[in-house]
Amino acid sequence: MLFNSFDFARLVLVTFALYYLPFMAKRQVIILILSSLLFYASSQPVLVILLVSSATVNCLTSYFVVHGKVHYQKAFAIVGVMANLFILAFFKYSPLVANTFFQSSDSIGHFLLSIPLPVGISFYTFQGISLVMDVFKGKYTSRTDTVAHSFLKHCRNTLFFISFFPQLVAGPIVKAHEFLPQITKKSLRNIDWETCFKNLVMGYFLKMVIADNLKDFTFWIMYPYFQQLSSLTLLVMLFGYSIQIFADFAGYSLIAIGIAGLFGYQLKMNFNFPYIATSFSEFWKRWHISLSSFLKEYLYIPLGGNRKGPFQTYLNLLITMLLGGLWHGAAWSYAVWGCFHGLALAIERILTSWFTLRSSKAVQFFKGILIFCLVTWAWLLFKLPQFEHVMAYMHTIRSNWMVEDHYKIITYCLLYSLPVIAYHIAYLLKEHSPLKYQQMIRFDYSVYGFLLFMIFTNSGTTGAFIYFQF
């Protein structure tokens, strides 16, 4: 069930109407759980069993971490984390194991290839890990505040936390210590209507107008179609895909945040204008913030972070980004993508310890262009999961300069990229020219009205969110 479908709109409207009925106030969480399960079942009914099983495992292990015998608490925490990792590995990486070590004709290889990839499994298993780890560490809130003494209440809260439908299939990744304390009775008068409206309009505009239109032109990046196109066309398409993947995922995140806000739940910002970043470390503070903060908190820091000397720091960065790359997809190209970012972060750290560049506007501008170009180049590994196709694309760019340019693709890729460029420029004005920004936001609602008009009149053909596959 896509966010931009009539079925989803009906689900949200019916859920919203029931949720805020006065006599349903004590059943608000149950209503959201039922809607979430219905939402998930609409695409993969059988795999609702897996979602509920995942929630059950996390409920049991987290409960006994807090209320079980003290000398068994660490064992329950380990079992909880390992169970989540096993579920993720079995359902997501079995095809990768099959393709790497077996023939498809082998019985084992055939079995591994037949295992379905559940939508959103990368997200809800990570949330399960955060629940178990948060209650084991007791770092953020009291353990008993997070895990109710009533087992049934804790089961309800855990299933709700794992399955909450706005962010179930593509994030943002929500941590237990951020979400569970929010489970209280909600009221219509507490909704921040303006913020929800802006998030929803911007989210749907980015997804339906920008990403869904760009996808029809970046489609030609796929093998073997790109081999017939000119070098300039290939470069512009790659630029367009960089804009598309941002608009698609940031759009989804804004929609999820907006819908969650309608039900009284606050999800954290997942994208903070990443394409203005002037370093890789800044890029990862702005791109997919929920993932980068999760990896930092639950992987990089436990590995030792930067506390054990330079070499160990670089190794930890590489391991973290390698696993972060594989989290995105069951193909070795994602591992290469992760290694690229890990090496970039390590090299950047080395260079900044050796050299100090004068922080002029010109230097910052060229650093921003360089980071954007490198990040964009690496997105090719997302669009072409087979590494040999990536190499063929790069070779075609080098060899097709004499081929006639495809002006329609070039024009529309640039045209639909302009609003995202303007979106980032507006943020830069806010940061560096607050007076000009204040003048600009006087037309705030005119802009949102125009975006709403474009959603209804210029949306592209409906397409699944890119991150649904992760």
Are 216 and 287 members of one domain?
yes
DSSP 157: H
CB 24 within 8 A of CB 16: no
Average pLDDT over residues 421-441: 79
Q: pLDDT at position 110, please?
A: 80
Could you tell me if 116 and 241 lie in one domain?
Answer: no
pLDDT of residue 104: 65
DSSP for 124-153 reads HHHHHHHHHHHHHHT-SS-HHHHS-SSHHH
Structure confidence by residue, pLDDT tens digits, 25-40? 889 999 999 999 999 9
Across the range 340-347, mean pLDDT stands at 94
Q: Which of 171-175, 350-354, 357-361, 410-414 has the lowest mean pLDDT?
A: 357-361
Q: Is the pLDDT of residue 96 over 90?
A: no
Q: Has residue 469 got a pLDDT over 80?
A: no
> Cα separations (Å) of 418 from 204, 274, 412, 414?
16, 16, 10, 6
* pLDDT band at 270; cut points 50, 70, 90: very high
Helices (H), 263-331: 280-286, 289-295, 301-303, 310-328
Sign of torsion over alpha carbons 93, 96, 102, 106: positive
pLDDT at 351 (0 to 100)? 87
Dist CA 333 CA 385 (whole Å):
5
Give the pLDDT mean for 239-243.
Answer: 97
Is residue 84 a contact partner of residue 173, using CB atoms and an 8 Å limit?
A: no
Q: pLDDT band at 364, cuts 50/70/90?
A: confident
Instruction: Answer yes or no: is 148 within a domain.
Output: yes
The least confident of 109-118, 189-198, 234-243, 343-352 is 109-118
Q: Whole-angstrom Cα distance, residue 260 to residue 171? A: 12
Q: pLDDT at residue 140 above 70?
A: no
Please indicate, yes or no, if residue 65 is contained in any of the structural domains.
yes
Residues 40 and 149 in one domain: yes
User: At which of 161, 187, 213 does a domain end?
Assistant: 187
C-alpha–C-alpha distance, residues 277 and 275, integer Å = 5
Tokens of 151: 């087992």
Average confidence (pLDDT) over 380-384 = 90
pLDDT at 138: 77
pLDDT for residue 145: 66
Domain boundary (158, 187, 216) is at: 187
Please give the structure tokens belonging to residue 279: 């370093």
pLDDT per residue over 272-298, tens digit each? 999 999 999 999 999 999 999 999 999
Q: Residue 451 has what pLDDT? A: 94
Alpha helix stretches (DSSP H) within 21-118: 28-41, 48-67, 73-101, 107-114
pLDDT at 209 over 90: yes
- 431 burial class (0-12, 13-18, 19+ CB within 10 angstroms)? exposed
Q: Provide the Cα torsion 57, 61, 63, 65; round to 10°.
A: -170
Give yes or no: residues 183 and 202 share one domain: no
pLDDT at residue 420 is higher than 70: yes
What integer best gives the mean pLDDT of the chain? 89
The Cα 412–Cα 110 span in angstroms is 42
Q: d(Cα 123, Cα 135) in Å, to the nearest integer?
A: 19
- Cα–Cα distance measured from residue 370 to residue 376, given in angstroms and rounded to the nearest whole number: 10
Has residue 345 been placed in a domain? yes
Query: What is the domain count for the chain?
Result: 2
Q: Is the confidence at residue 69, as pLDDT, over 90?
A: no
Between CA 349 and CA 271 the distance in angstroms is: 23
- φ, ψ of residue 288 to 5 degrees: the values are 45, 60
Q: Residue 116 belongs to what H/E stretch? A: none
Q: Are residues 197 and 92 in the same domain?
A: no
CA distances 147 to 1, 25, 56, 72, 138, Å, are: 32, 22, 14, 17, 11
pTM: predicted TM-score of the whole model, two decimal places: 0.92
pLDDT at 437: 65
Name the residues annotated as catalytic: 328
Q: Which domain-ending residue is among 139, 154, 187?
A: 187
In a domain, residue 213? The reply is: yes
Distances (CA, A) of 54 to 282, 299, 316, 426: 34, 21, 29, 42
- Kindly state whether residues 325 and 458 are assigned to the same domain: yes
Query: Is 456 in the same domain as 431?
Result: yes
User: In what helix (H) or strand (E) does residue 426 lie, and over which residues does it extend?
Assistant: helix 407-432
How far apart, in whole angstroms, are the C-alpha atoms of residue 200 and residue 106?
Answer: 48
Write down the pLDDT at residue 433: 74
What lies within 8 Å, CB to CB, of 342 at 6+ separation is 317, 318, 319, 320, 321, 322
Tell me how far CA of residue 108 lies from CA of 85, 86, 94, 116, 389, in angstroms: 21, 18, 10, 15, 27
280, 112 contact by CB (below 8 A): no
Contact 275, 372 (CB under 8 A): yes
Which range, 230-239, 343-352, 363-372, has the best average confidence (pLDDT)? 230-239
- Determine contact, residues 232/410, Cβ cutoff 8 Å: yes
In a 13 Å sphere around the CA of 294, the CA atoms on its Cβ side amount to 29
> Would you state the pLDDT for residue 218?
94
Residue 377 covered by a domain: yes
What mean pLDDT do residues 191-205 have?
A: 95
Q: Count CA atoms closer than 13 A to 85's CA, side-chain side.
A: 11
Are both 133 and 236 inside the same structural domain?
no
pLDDT(409) > 70: yes
1 occurs within a structural domain: no
Q: Is residue 286 part of a domain?
A: yes
- Number of residues written out for the chain: 470
Whether residue 429 sits in one domain with residue 365: yes
Kindly state whether residues 384 and 402 are assigned to the same domain: yes
**For residue 443, what pLDDT is reported?**
75
pLDDT higher than 60, residue 470: no
Region 226-248: what's the mean pLDDT?
96
Q: What is the pLDDT of residue 205?
A: 96
Is 182 found in the same domain as 136? yes
Domain that holds residue 120: 6-187
Q: Say which range, 62-71, 246-255, 353-362, 410-419, has the weakest mean pLDDT.
A: 353-362
Residues contacting residue 330 through CB under 8 Å, at least 6 positions apart? 92, 93, 94, 95, 96, 117
Instruction: Report d(CA 224, CA 220) in Å as an integer.
Output: 8
Is there a single domain that holds both residue 144 and residue 14?
yes
Indicate if the pLDDT at residue 456 is higher than 90.
yes
Q: Model confidence over 247-263: pLDDT tens digits? A: 999 999 999 999 999 99
User: Does some domain include residue 141?
Assistant: yes
The fraction of the chain above a pLDDT of 90, given in percent, is 63
The pLDDT of residue 144 is 63
Stretch 210-231: mean pLDDT, rounded? Answer: 94
DSSP state of 182: G
